[in-house]
Each structure stands twice: as C-alpha cells, then as structure tokens.
C-alpha cells in the first residue's frame, strides 16, 4: 500500500492553513551522507519531505508559498540524463512525480532551475513575482546534534545570507502537529510494518538455538522481513543475549548466545516509510527457567497494565510514572529491592514514544493523547546481577475510548512462546 495523492494534497493544505501570510516554505529531500572514498550511506528521505510529497528521492526540493489565502506549490526534481540512466537507472520523470504527489505537471521543474525561479518569482517584488516579497522563510529546523546548525540551513545558506530581511521560522513546529496524529492509511501502513516484523520474529523464534551468534539471529530477521515484502529495517536491530540485554541500545550483535539465557530482540520493519518498533524477549533454547518466567511475567503484567491505561486525555508522563510504580511494586514483591526509590537501578528509560515515519516520531509530549496517536509501550527490567534483561514492546493506537494494540498477534505469553518454539 502507498499513501494516495489525495491524502498528500490534504496534508499540504493543512500545512498551508497553519502557515502565516506572505510566507515561503522550503523542504529539502536531503541526500545520502558520505561514508568513505567513493562510498555513500544508504539514502533515507527527509521524512517531512516524504510526508508532504510521497516521494523518497535525493536532492529534490518542495516549495510552498502563501500570500493571504492564495497558495502555490512547486516541486523541483533532478533531470533525467542518459549518463544517469546508464549508471544508476532511470530517474523519476516529471509526470511520475506529479502522479505520486498530486502536484500538477506544470508546477514541477528541475532543481537546476531553482535558483533562478526563486530569485525571479519569489524573492523579489518585481512584476514577475508571484506574491511580492515574502516576509517569512520556514525551514525544517531539526538539529541532529545539540547546538548544531539545522541541515536545511546549510541547503538554504544562499537565501539566508542574501535575504537577511526574511524572518526564519521553524516548519517542524507546524508539521510535527500534523504528523503526531495518524490517518487511517498511516495506521494501516504501521500495521503492515508490524506484520512484516511478526514474520521476522517468528522466524527467529523458530530457528533460535543455544550457541548461535546474535548476528545470525539478526540476519534471519532482516532476511525474513524482506522476504515478507518490507523495504528494510526501521532502525539498527538489537539482538542481545543474556547479560548484554541490560544495555538498552546494544547494537554490537556479535556474541554467541549462551544456553539457558534469554535473548532480547528489539527490532522493526518498514512499510512505505512507516515503522514498527517491537521488542520480544525469549529463551534461546525455547524454555523459560522458573526464575526467568517469574521476572518475565512481572514485565508482561506491566506491559498489559500500561496498555490498559491508554486513552484520550492521558499524558505520556502519567504513563511513565504509572509504569515505574508498577515495576517498583513488582521488584519489591520479588525481594529485588527494599525501597521503591531503587527501581531506577533496574529500569531506566521511558515507557512510550510516538511511532510513525520516524521510529521515535515527532510531536510534543506536553499535550494529552488523542485518537490517532500511535505510541509504543515498552516496560523492561534489567538485572545485571542475574545476567537478565527483559523488555516487552508493543505498538498501540489511541482510539475514542481506549487503545488498540496493533501488535497483539505477536506472541508474548510464556506458554505461547514455549509451544511455538517447541521442536
């Protein structure tokens, strides 16, 4: 499935309605970062560009211009050439870009002509200009590292330097509000990504064996989701055997998994840009020890209890406090801690984040949940003394009177896992 152009047009209209009068928004699709010598990392589209156009191609630029109520949308793409076709295959044609995005063919040009277009039609108050000189320039101000320049400011450097009279504003503040609440088709795509993920997890559970290397299990997951139709991984897969599972973002995946240990697998597949983010923890040999079962059940109970709390009006910080309290009670009950405050030794992350085109998706956490918000539920316990880390992560969508667990059919009950892994 793909997002239809009618929905993309609605997204751009919604953004226009939030933009101020006499403003210009430039959204860059980005490009793959350099890796070494003549090698580049795989390209991941700027998600805001993808959200507004449905296109995942390097070096394209979306131009959105608003006068009062009058709006203009243009897309600038890379031109095709015989040379490019020979080396990397045929580029997207203007007609195809128009068909995907719903932007009329006449409003699609080539990036080589963008500087002239901007200087003549937009950044001037001449007879040729569309609305007169805009007052505001909206750019995507996401900073990949604290106190660094947003990447879009590097792309738009010439404009910023030569037009200091343009007030810079952050496009993310507007677009994040739109992306935080998912449409029916976005939820369907997340569900598709979850189904690919389920198929990958089941393959891992079926083929898991003591002594197997973590990277072999991780590769099985990646192979299976691609076989199932996913375009790839939502994020770097975490396969952490035994004691390594206490490291939250363990990505080395290079140790062999000890017999009798649990393996924590935090992973997700992608469907048309939308991500799944699931964690399952299971015994490498297919059978929980009584102690593993006891700890696993504690996390599972909290996973379910948190899902039960989710409904419109609830704040994510309330879910965090609730999860922490529930985990602390169970640690007390198990005699692992004597004081509730010590829960921090065994649980040290948040229980939820938004999920969508980004795995840790955009949107403020300062407002209550509302229908259409998709979020993870991922309580965990990490007990280094026992060489055990357990996390159980599901993806849920907020609905009118509660929440629907989109990953409900990825098995997580002890007896389901044991009987599935029986051989």
Binding site for ligand GLY (CB under 6 A): 235, 266, 277, 353, 378, 393
Given 376, 389, 403, 417, the residue binding Mn ion (CB under 5 A): 376
- The minimum distance between CB 353 and Mn ion, in angstroms, equals 6
Token readout for 227 is: 């076989």
Residue 394 found at the interface with Mn ion (CB under 5 A): no
In the complex with ligand GLY, the residue whose CB is nearer, 248 or 332, is 248
- The minimum distance between CB 99 and ligand GLY, in angstroms, equals 35
In the complex with ligand GLY, the residue whose CB is nearer, 66 or 353, is 353
Across-strand partners of 274? 271
- The minimum distance between CB 362 and ligand GLY, in angstroms, equals 14
- Give SS3 for 239: strand
Angle CA 379–380–386, to nearest 5: 165
- The minimum distance between CB 230 and ligand GLY, in angstroms, equals 16
- The minimum distance between CB 25 and Mn ion, in angstroms, equals 30
Provide the 10 A C-beta neighbour count for residue 151: 18
Q: Are 264 and 214 in contact (CB under 8 A)?
A: no
In the complex with ligand GLY, the residue whose CB is nearer, 118 or 238, is 238
- The minimum distance between CB 195 and ligand GLY, in angstroms, equals 18
- Residue 326 interacts, among Mn ion, ligand GLY, none and using kind-specific CB cut-offs from 5 to 8 Å, with none
d(CA 306, CA 402): 11
- The minimum distance between CB 360 and ligand GLY, in angstroms, equals 6
- The minimum distance between CB 126 and ligand GLY, in angstroms, equals 51
Stretch that binds Mn ion, among 12-20, 221-229, 258-266, 364-372 (CB under 5 A): 258-266
- The minimum distance between CB 360 and Mn ion, in angstroms, equals 7
Backbone angles phi, psi at 23, to 5 degrees: -130, 155
In the complex with Mn ion, the residue whose CB is nearer, 140 or 378, is 378
Stretch that binds Mn ion, among 95-103, 262-270, 305-313, 343-351 (CB under 5 A): 262-270
Given 140, 186, 272, 277, the residue binding Mn ion (CB under 5 A): 277
d(CA 51, CA 139): 15
In Å, how far are 6, 215, 233 from 236, measured between CA atoms? 33, 12, 7
- Give SS3 for 362: coil
- Residue 235 interacts, among ligand GLY, Mn ion, none and using kind-specific CB cut-offs from 5 to 8 Å, with ligand GLY
Which residue, chain included where needed, has tokens 């209209």? Answer: 13
In the complex with ligand GLY, the residue whose CB is nearer, 140 or 378, is 378
Token readout for 318 is: 């309330």
Token readout for 234 is: 């939502």
Query: What are the start-end ranges of the E strands in 208-355?
Result: 232-233, 238-241, 262-267, 269-271, 274-275, 278-283
In the complex with Mn ion, the residue whose CB is nearer, 272 or 393, is 393
What DSSP designation does 122 have?
I
In the complex with ligand GLY, the residue whose CB is nearer, 123 or 377, is 377
Among the listed residues 129, 150, 132, the one whose alpha carbon sits nearest the alpha carbon of residue 141? 150
Residues 6+ apart with CB under 8 A from 37: none
Interstrand relation of 262-267 and 278-283 (parallel, antiparallel or unpaired): antiparallel
In the complex with ligand GLY, the residue whose CB is nearer, 152 or 230, is 230
- Give SS3 for 381: strand
In the complex with ligand GLY, the residue whose CB is nearer, 192 or 378, is 378
Closest residue to ligand GLY, based on beta-carbon distance: 266
Residues 6+ apart with CB under 8 A from 333: none
In the complex with Mn ion, the residue whose CB is nearer, 140 or 266, is 266
- The minimum distance between CB 266 and ligand GLY, in angstroms, equals 5
Stretch that binds Mn ion, among 22-30, 118-126, 182-190, 371-379 (CB under 5 A): 371-379
Residue 266 found at the interface with Mn ion (CB under 5 A): yes
Q: Are 27 and 37 in contact (CB under 8 A)?
A: no
- Residue 142 interacts, among ligand GLY, Mn ion, none and using kind-specific CB cut-offs from 5 to 8 Å, with none
* Half-sphere exposure at residue 344, Cβ-oriented, CA atoms within 13 angstroms: 2
* Half-sphere exposure at residue 62, Cβ-oriented, CA atoms within 13 angstroms: 34
- Residue 352 interacts, among Mn ion, ligand GLY, none and using kind-specific CB cut-offs from 5 to 8 Å, with none
Interstrand relation of 23-28 and 136-139 (parallel, antiparallel or unpaired): parallel
- Residue 272 interacts, among ligand GLY, Mn ion, none and using kind-specific CB cut-offs from 5 to 8 Å, with none
Judged by the rule CB under 5 A, the positions of this chain that interact with Mn ion are: 266, 277, 376, 393
């Amino acid at each position: 499935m793909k997002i239809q152009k009618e929905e993309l047009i609605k997204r751009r209209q919604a953004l226009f309605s939030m933009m101020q009068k006499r403003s210009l928004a430039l959204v860059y699709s980005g490009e793959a970062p350099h890796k070494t010598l003549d090698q580049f990392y795989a390209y991941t589209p700027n998600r805001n560009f993808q959200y507004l156009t449905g296109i995942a191609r390097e070096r394209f630029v979306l131009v959105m211009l608003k006068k009062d109520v009058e709006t203009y949308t243009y897309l600038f793409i890379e031109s095709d050439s015989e040379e490019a076709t020979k080396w990397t295959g045929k580029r997207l044609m203007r007609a195809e870009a128009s068909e995907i995005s719903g932007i009329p063919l006449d409003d699609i040009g080539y990036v080589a002509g963008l500087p002239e277009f901007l200087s003549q039609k937009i950044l001037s108050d001449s007879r040729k200009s569309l609305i007169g000189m805009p007052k505001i320039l909206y750019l995507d101000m996401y900073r990949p590292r604290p106190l660094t320049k947003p990447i879009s400011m590097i792309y738009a450097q010439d404009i910023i330097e030569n037009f200091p009279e343009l007030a810079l504003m952050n496009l993310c503040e507007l677009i994040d509000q739109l992306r935080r609440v998912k449409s029916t088709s976005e939820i369907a795509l997340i569900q598709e990504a979850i189904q690919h993920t389920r198929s990958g997890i089941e393959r891992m559970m079926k083929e898991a064996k003591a002594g197997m290397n973590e990277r072999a299990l991780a590769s099985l997951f990646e192979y299976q989701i691609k076989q199932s139709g996913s375009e790839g991984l939502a994020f770097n897969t975490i396969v952490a055997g035994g004691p390594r599972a206490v490291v939250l973002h363990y990505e080395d995946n290079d140790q062999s998994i000890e017999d009798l240990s649990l393996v924590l697998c935090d992973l997700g597949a992608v469907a048309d840009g939308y991500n799944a983010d699931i964690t399952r923890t299971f015994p490498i040999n297919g059978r929980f020890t009584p102690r593993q079962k006891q700890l696993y059940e504690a996390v599972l109970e909290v996973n379910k209890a948190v899902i039960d709390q989710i409904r419109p009006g609830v704040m994510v910080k309330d879910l965090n406090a609730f999860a922490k309290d529930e985990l602390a009670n169970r640690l007390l009950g198990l005699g692992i801690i004597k004081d509730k405050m010590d829960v921090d030794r065994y649980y040290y992350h948040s229980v939820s984040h938004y999920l969508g085109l980004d795995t840790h998706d955009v949107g403020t956490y300062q407002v209550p949940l509302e229908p259409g918000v998709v979020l993870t539920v991922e309580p965990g316990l990490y007990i280094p003394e026992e060489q055990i880390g357990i996390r159980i992560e599901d993806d849920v969508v907020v609905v009118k009177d509660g929440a629907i667990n989109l990953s409900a059919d990825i098995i997580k009950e002890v007896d389901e896992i044991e009987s599935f892994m029986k051989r």
